[in-house]
Amino acid sequence: MPPRSPLAPADFPALPVIGGARFAIAEAGVRYKGRPDVMLALLDPGSVVAGVFTRSATRSANVLDCQSKIGADSAEGAAIIVNSGNSNAFTGKAGEGSVAAICQAVAAQTGLPASRVFTSSTGVIGERLPHDRITAKLDELHGALSPDGMAEAARAIMTTDTFPKAATAEIDVDGKPVRIAGIAKGSGMIAPDMATMLVYIFTDARIPRAELQALVSELNAKTFNNITVDSDTSTSDTLLMAATGASGVDVTWNADFTQALYNVMLNLAHQVVRDGEGATKFVTVHVSGAASDADARTHALAIANSPLVKTALAGEDPNWGRIVMAVGKSGAAADRDKLSIRFGETLVASEGWVAESYREEDGATYFKGQEIDINVDIGLGAGQATVWTCDLTHGYIQINADYRS
Amino acid sequence: MPPRSPLAPADFPALPVIGGARFAIAEAGVRYKGRPDVMLALLDPGSVVAGVFTRSATRSANVLDCQSKIGADSAEGAAIIVNSGNSNAFTGKAGEGSVAAICQAVAAQTGLPASRVFTSSTGVIGERLPHDRITAKLDELHGALSPDGMAEAARAIMTTDTFPKAATAEIDVDGKPVRIAGIAKGSGMIAPDMATMLVYIFTDARIPRAELQALVSELNAKTFNNITVDSDTSTSDTLLMAATGASGVDVTWNADFTQALYNVMLNLAHQVVRDGEGATKFVTVHVSGAASDADARTHALAIANSPLVKTALAGEDPNWGRIVMAVGKSGAAADRDKLSIRFGETLVASEGWVAESYREEDGATYFKGQEIDINVDIGLGAGQATVWTCDLTHGYIQINADYRS
C-alpha cells in the first residue's frame, strides 16, 4: 500500500444518518484479503435513484446493467451493491452473468425486484468476477444493515485509494433539516467523462426521480467531469444518487439544496484528485477569456493532462513555457499575443511574452506550495472553465508500473 | 546529461555528400557551453525547399517566418540556420525581431535574399533569444562550410537528445545515383502534429518545388505525424527538405524515390521515439478493423498516449485491460465484444474477454523484450493505422521535473 496522500484532508467527516438508507460491509475475499471489499446499501420504499456513468465504449457489464435500469420509476425501494478488487470489465458474457447472478441473489435476499438492484465493481480489468464469493455474503450483509454504516462503506469500496472519501452537507428548509452524505473512491484512471470512479450519494430529501436525474447530470458536469489525474477514463465510472424522502421535505427546484449537493460533489471530486496516484500538488487550472466555455475546457484539460506541465509541477519548476505549449496544442482557438498567464495572483506572461514585472523567484516560491492555481486568460472572449488535477511524479510510475504484479 | 538511450541504433550512419549542399557548425554559446549549438546549411542556386510545421496556436516566430517563405519559387539557392538551447517561442515581438536579425545577417553574409533564409530555434520556451551570439558566428560558419559537415550538424541541433540522429538512402535511376540524407533532433514534447521536433533532409535529386512539397506532406502524415512520446506538441516542430538537383536526375513521380524518402523519414521518426525521454521500450501500436483510417489512428493514439498503458509497458506488465480502457475512452467507434488484442502474434483477448489460449506467462515474457508490438483489431471495418511510441518511466519524470533548473 502506498502511504496516505500528503494532500488528504485532515479528518474523515462525521456522517449523518440518512433516514431510509442503511449500509453494511463484508469481507468477501474477491481479491483482497483481510479487509472489507463489499458494501450493500438498502433504500426504503419511496426512494428514487439517479445516476451518471462512464461513456467508455468498453464499459463494464455492471455499468450497462445500471444504465438499463436507471430511468425507471418505482415505489419499491432499491439496493446498491459494490465490490472492490475486480471491475468485471471486459469479461464478456461471463461478466453479464455475474451481474445477473448478484442482482438475483440480492433480490431474493431483500424482497426487491432485480430491476431495483444496482451493482458496481471496481478493480482489475479482464479477470472473471468470482461473484459467488459476494452472494455467499448476502445473508451476513443483510443482517448487518445499519443506518450508521456509511463510513465503513467508504472503506470497503477502496482500491488504490490511500484514504476513504466522504462529504456531507445539511440545509434547513422551513425549519426542517435535509441531509446529504456521499462517499467516493478513485485514485488512478481518472479522467472525464466521467472521472469519479465510483460515487454514492444519499439524501433524505424528497424529489421526483426525473428532477433528481437532471440535477445530478448538471452538477456532474461542473464537478466530476472537470477532474483529471492521468487522462485515462475508467470502464466502470458510476455515480448513483438516492433520495429517500424520509425528511418529508420536498427540495424540487430548491436552490439551497442544489448548492449543498454541488458542494458535496465538488468536495468528493477534489478528494479524488487529492488521492491521485503519486500526487503531491493539488492544482486548479482556471481558463478565462476563451471563445466559448467549451474551448476554455479544452484548453484547461490540455494544460491539466500535459505530462510536461505535470512533471514541471512535480519538480516545483514554474515552467510557464509548457503552459503556452499546452494551450497551443489543445486545438481550441488561441492567439499567442493575447494570452496571459498567472500563478495565483502573480502575472507571469502577457502579450506573447514573459511579464516585465515577473520574477522567476516568485514563481519558484509559489510552486513550492501544495496548492497551485494556474490562471490562463486566452484574451479572445468570455468562455471559462475550471479543471482540477495533480502533478505527475515518481509515485505514479511506481504505483502503475507494478499495479497488477 | 542522461545516458545514451538503450534503444539507440548501434551506429551513426555514414552520410553521403549531397551535391549542392554544404554545412558548418559553431559554438555560439546561446545557452550551452563547450559544445556546438548552431548549424548552417547553404544550398546552391537551383535548390528547391519544402517544409511542414507544427500546427500549434502558439508556434514560434521562426516557424511563422518559415511558413511565410516556404511556398515561394526561387532560383537563388537557400540557407538554413538552426540553433539549439533556446526555442525563441513565446518571446513576443522580440522573437520576431531575432528572426529578422538572423535572416538579414545570413543574407548579408551569403548574398542570398532574406526571403531565402530559413531559421529554426529549439530549446527552452519564453526566454529572449540572444541572436547576436549567433550572428557573431556567421563569418566563422560561412568560412567553414563543407560538403562533409552534415554529421556534425546532427550534433549541433541536439537538446535533451542522448544521441545524434541521421538516416540516408540511395537509389539508382537509369544508372545514375540519387542520394538522400537527413538529420533530426527530438526527445520530449513529441506528439502529432507534427512530432519531429526538427528535421532537415537533403537530396541531390531534381524535382519541382510543388511536387516536393506534396511528397513531403504526404510522407510526413505516414511517419512523423504518427509518433508520440508524451502527447505534448512542440511550438517549434519543423521539417525542411531541400532538393539541390545536383545529380541531374529528375525524380518527379518516381516511386523508388518516394519509397527511399519514406524510409529515411520513417527511420528518423523511429529514432526520435527511440530517444524518447526515459524510454526503455520501442512500441508499435497497430490498429486494424476500425470504421475508418481516422478512427484507427484515434484508437492507436489513445493507446500510445495512455499513461496507464505506458507505465504498464515500463513495468513489463502485460496489462491488456488498460488497452481495452484506452480503446474505450478514445471516442472512436468500438464494440467491446468485437475487439481483439494481440501482443506480437499472440492472441490475448477476443469476443469481449481474455482468449482461452492466452497464458499470462507468455505475455509477461513478451513484455520483457525491448521491441513491443501491440496489435488491436476493432472488428468493425477496414480502417487501419500504425503509431510508434515508447514507455513512461522514472527517467521521464527525472528529466522533466528538473529540465530548466
Q: What percent of chain A has pLDDT over 90?
A: 78
Chain A residues in contact with B356 (beta carbon < 8 A): none
Helices A92-110, A61-69: crossing angle, 10 deg rounding: 50
**Domain-embedded: residue A12:** no
Tell me what pLDDT residue B186 has: 83
Chain centroid to Cα A118, Å, comes to 18
Side-by-side strand order, sheet with A238-243:
A48-53, A238-243, A198-203, A176-185, A165-173
| A245 and A99 inside one domain | yes
Using a CB-CB cut-off of 8 Å, the residues of chain A touching B321 are: 87, 89-90, 124-126
Which residues of chain B are within 8 Å of residue A277 when distances are taken between CB atoms?
none
Interface touch A57/B328, C-beta < 8 Å = yes
Check whether residue A297 and residue A382 sit in a common domain: yes
Nearest to A189 among B325, B327, B334 (CB): B325
In a domain, A99, yes or no: yes
A11 pLDDT above the threshold of 80: yes
Asked if residue B288 and residue B260 are part of one domain, the reply reads no
Q: Is A159 annotated as a binding residue?
A: yes
Measure the CA–CA gap between B24 and B82, rounded to whole angstroms. 11
A127: closest CA of chain B, how far (Å): 8
Which of A59, A314, A351 is the closest to B92 by Cβ?
A351
Query: What is the reported pLDDT for A403?
Result: 53
The domain in which residue B257 lies consists of 21-274
CA A160 from chain centre, in angstroms, equals 14
State residue A204's pLDDT score. Answer: 98
A115 marked as part of a ligand binding site:
no
CB-nearest partner of B327 from A58, A319, A322: A58
Domains: count for chain A = 2
How far is the alpha carbon of B55 from chain A, nearest alpha carbon, in Å? 8
Tell me the chain A residues in contact with residue B289 when contact means C-beta distances shorter than 8 Å: none
Q: How far apart are CA B78 and CA B51, in angstroms?
A: 13
Distance, CA of B259 to CA of B265 (rounded, Å): 10
Which chain B residues are Cβ-neighbours of A234 within 8 angstroms?
Answer: 325
Statement to judge: residues A77 and A168 lie in one domain: yes
Predicted pLDDT at A196: 46
* B400 annotated among ligand-binding-site residues: yes
Residue A64: its chain B contacts at CB < 8 A?
none
| Closest of A166, A184, A182 to residue A227, by C-alpha | A184
What pLDDT, in 10s, does the model give residues A79-109?
999 999 998 988 888 999 999 999 999 999 9
Q: What is the pLDDT of residue A189?
A: 60
Q: Is A140 exposed, middle or buried (0-12, 13-18, 19+ CB in 10 A)?
A: middle
CB contact under 8 A, A191 and B329: yes
Domain boundary among B217, B252, B274: B274
A354/A266 same-domain check: no
What residues of B are in contact with residue A54 (Cβ under 8 Å)? 328
- For residue A402, the model assigns a pLDDT of 66
- Rounded to a whole number of angstroms, the distance from the CA of B5 to the nearest CA of chain A is 19
What confidence category does residue A24 fall into, taking pLDDT thresholds of 50, 70 and 90? very high
Three-class SS of residue B117?
strand
Chain B partners within 8 Å of A232 (Cβ)? 306-308, 322, 325-326, 329
Give pLDDT, residue B206: 98
Indicate if B134 and B263 belong to the same structural domain. yes
Q: Is A317 within the bounds of a domain?
A: yes
- Cβ neighbours of B392 in A, within 8 Å: 307, 397
pLDDT at B126: 83
Nearest to A58 among B92, B124, B324 (CB): B324
Distance of CA B322 to the CA centre of its chain: 27
Do the Cβ atoms of B397 and A402 come within 8 Å? Answer: no
Nearest to B349 among A126, A329, A397 (CB): A126
Chain B interface, best mutation among A31, A55, A58, by max B CB count within 10 A: A58
Closest-CA distance, B158 to chain A, in angstroms, reads: 19
Nearest of A277, A249, A110 to residue A190 by alpha carbon:
A277
Of the partner residues A94, A230, A324, the one whose CB lies closest to the CB of residue B126: A324
Nearest CA in chain B to A396: B311
Is A10 a member of any domain? no
Q: What is the pLDDT of residue B395?
A: 87
Residue B228 in marked binding region: no
Q: Is the dihedral of CA A394, B307, B305, B315 positive or negative?
A: positive
pLDDT value at residue A1:
64
What local confidence, expressed as pLDDT, does residue B404 receive? 53
Q: Which of B53, B64, B160, B311 to mutate against chain A (most A CBs within 10 Å)? A: B311
Give the mutation candidate from B309, B325, B347, B368 for the A interface (greatest A CB count, under 10 A): B325
Q: Are residues B334 and B192 both part of a single domain? A: no
CB-based contact A273:A190 (threshold 8 Å):
yes
Q: Which residue has the cell 484507427?
A: B296
Return the residue of B nearest to A314 by Cα.
Answer: B401
Domain contains B15: no
CA angle in degrees (0–180, nearest 5) for B336-B338-B343: 90
B189 and A230 in contact by Cβ < 8 A? no
| Contact residues on chain B for A122, CB-CB shorter than 8 A | none
| Domain assignment of residue B290, yes or no | yes
Interface pTM (ipTM) of the complex?
A: 0.84
- Give the CATH number for residue A231: 3.60.70.12
- Chains A, B: CB contacts within 8 A come to 218
Q: Determine whether the interchain pair B352/A90 forms a contact, defined as Cβ–Cβ distance below 8 Å.
A: yes
The answer to whether the bond into B194 is cis (omega within 30° of 0) is: yes
Based on the domain organization, do A141 and A231 belong to the same domain?
yes
Residue A358 distance to chain B (closest CA, Å): 12
Q: Stretch A239-265: mean pLDDT, rounded? A: 97
Percent of chain A with pLDDT over 70: 96
Kindly state whether residue B11 falls inside one of the protein's structural domains.
no
| Catalytic residue numbers of B, as ranges | 196
pLDDT at B191: 44
**Final residue of a domain: which of B250, B274, B298?**
B274
Residues of A assigned a catalytic role: 196
Q: Distance (Å, rounded) from C-alpha A301 to C-alpha A121?
A: 27
Say if residue A321 is in the same domain as residue A178: no
- Residue A44 neighbours by CB under 8 Å, 6+ apart: A20, A21, A77, A244, A246
Nearest Cβ partner of A353 from B91, B349, B401?
B91
Name residue A350's amino acid: S
Q: Is the pLDDT of residue A405 over 70?
A: no
**Parallel, antiparallel, or unpaired: how do β-strands B176-185 and B198-203 relate?**
antiparallel
Contact A126 B325 (CB under 8 A): no
**Residue A55 belongs to some domain of the structure:** yes
Interface test with A, best of B230, B308, B340, B368 (most A CBs within 10 A): B308
Which among A56, A187, A367 is the top mutation candidate for probing chain B, defined by the most B β-carbons within 10 Å of its own β-carbon? A56
Contact present, B38 and B134 (Cβ < 8 Å): yes
B201 and B82 assigned to the same domain:
yes
Packing angle, helices B307-314 and B320-329, rounded to 10: 160
User: Are B241 and B307 members of one domain?
Assistant: no
C-alpha cell at B124: 527552452
CA distance A262 to chain B (A): 26
Q: Do A306 and B93 touch (CB under 8 A)?
A: no
Q: Do A330 and A194 belong together in one domain?
A: no
Q: How many CB atoms sit inside 10 A of residue A293's CB?
A: 14
| A252 carries a ligand binding annotation | no
Q: How far is A257 from chain B (nearest CA, A)?
A: 33
Question: Over 50: is that where the pLDDT of A281 sits?
Answer: yes
Tell me if B325 and A234 make a contact (CB, 8 A cut-off).
Answer: yes
Instruction: List pLDDT tens digits, range A285-341.
Output: 999 999 999 999 999 999 999 988 999 999 999 989 889 989 988 989 999 899 999
Contact B328 A58 (CB under 8 A): yes
CB-based contact B58 A327, cutoff 8 Å: yes
Closest partner residue to A317 (CB to CB) among B58, B127, B403 is B403
What does each of the 405 residues of chain B score in pLDDT, given as a tens digit? 678 999 999 999 999 999 999 999 999 999 989 999 999 999 999 999 999 998 888 889 999 999 999 999 998 999 999 999 998 988 888 999 999 999 999 999 999 999 999 999 998 888 899 999 999 999 999 999 999 999 999 999 998 889 999 999 999 999 999 999 999 998 766 543 333 489 999 999 999 999 999 999 999 999 998 988 776 767 788 999 999 999 999 999 999 999 999 999 999 999 999 998 889 999 999 999 999 999 999 999 999 999 889 999 999 999 898 899 899 889 899 998 999 999 999 999 998 889 999 999 999 999 999 999 999 999 999 999 999 999 999 888 888 886 554
- Give the CATH number of the domain where residue B377 resides: 3.10.20.340
Shortest CA gap A302–chain B (Å) = 9
Residue numbers in B near A233 (CB within 8 A): 325, 328-329
Q: Per the annotation, does A54 bind a ligand? A: no
pLDDT in tens, B316-329: 999 898 899 899 88
What lies within 8 Å, CB to CB, of A322 at 6+ separation is A306, A308, A309, A312, B125, B232
pLDDT band at A390 (very low <50, low <70, confident <90, very high): very high
Q: Which of B274, B295, B320 corresponds to the end of one domain?
A: B274
Contact B400 A311 (CB under 8 A): yes
| Measured CA distances, B206 to B69, B120, B249, B250, B399 (Å) | 20, 25, 6, 5, 42
